[in-house]
Structure 1
């Protein structure tokens, strides 16, 4: 079966938001992965940047599901997702990277839309496809809380790999992409979906579709945004998922099927973390 990873990930990517007391809201991006727990039971996992959840102080967030009616029209259907039990976070966080994972109960359509774990890049994926600086990748997210339409789908953008080398991942846990990062982009998936890529020096073409990582930071120098995004490799998503073990799924509570209030302000909580210098972009 032929897959279009762009469409598959659009379906699996959701907005995360939490209203604040001053009428503004904190916004981030997450995406859904499916795998099996230690007992072989299927589960759905929400992936986002750890700082997105860390800086949402309330016990619940709004997760932006979408529903398709019989006439084919989509509507935004956000629901309430519990992320804390009192002061205790219900997600797991990578010890050294800005990655969080949370087992969730989702509507059946979203359980089906979740991306298989196997689509996350392996340690050798960049070398396997001879990827490097200048290669184009796609990014999904909700910059400044904006969506592509009233149905709440994420905005698809692209950028080129802007750093070298990319491997080994253990030595270079992040890489740079030439695209502007805005509040709300944090946690969004970065991926490659190229159906006919010719490997340099080879005659054959390859179907190259994989999730390279997620947006975790932006680069700033002396307070100036350099329009460079920092991507944490998928290896660390895999390692974070491995920390879940047999964690029970987080309870999803039904919420009103309405679009939330217009953004009045954005907080630093939803913005990508700023790196003062490239040496700190790790």
Structure 2
């Protein structure tokens, strides 16, 4: 498996760990806001939603474990799982926004967080598709509440029926524009980082190849030196016999010459 597959698998696991916190926060903050702060929240829906998030998170973890090979997901499986996770989270967050005031809910800003996550996990085109899905979900929620097709759970943060007026449309359009801006900015940063990472990986591979070639050259030089030493040893060994014989012959001749000189003087 490539480093990119390992990175995607690690981020998906991190997202699952984060989802446990989100499920707990939905339950705990809903109870606290209703019982301690007195916000008119629809507790049954929020509590059921927290349990639902925990349930599908457990299913996603089982899916990951069943599909992993040596702890790493295959590329297509990882991309599919990323799409499923983000889509389920967008549906859950839309329901939370609905139960906490619809267009009045301050939790709509968390859609931006999901767009950043989509940019880090998916390609720019796929992340743009998730931004479109988030826009349709949020815009559809605002429209259905404004038309009375969905009940509006007001938090009392706005006076009157703001969710039915033109201001609700402006708020929805503003948030949707921020979603696409977040996708563009985060996607640009992620693409540049991936390009730098790719260049660094290519440079690392070239350095490794050069080190391998240098090591091979060093071994060849050492082998040549060993061969040279063996050749010199063999030549010296082969020359040792003739040289010894020549030295012996010279010694014999020298001794004979030395013995001949006194005889010549005597005569």
Q: Structure 1 length as normaliser, TM-score?
A: 0.20
Higher Rg of the two aligned structures: 2
Q: Which has the higher helix share?
A: 2
Which structure has more relative contact order (CA 8 Å, sep 6+)? It is 1
Using the size of structure 2 for normalisation, the TM-score is 0.21
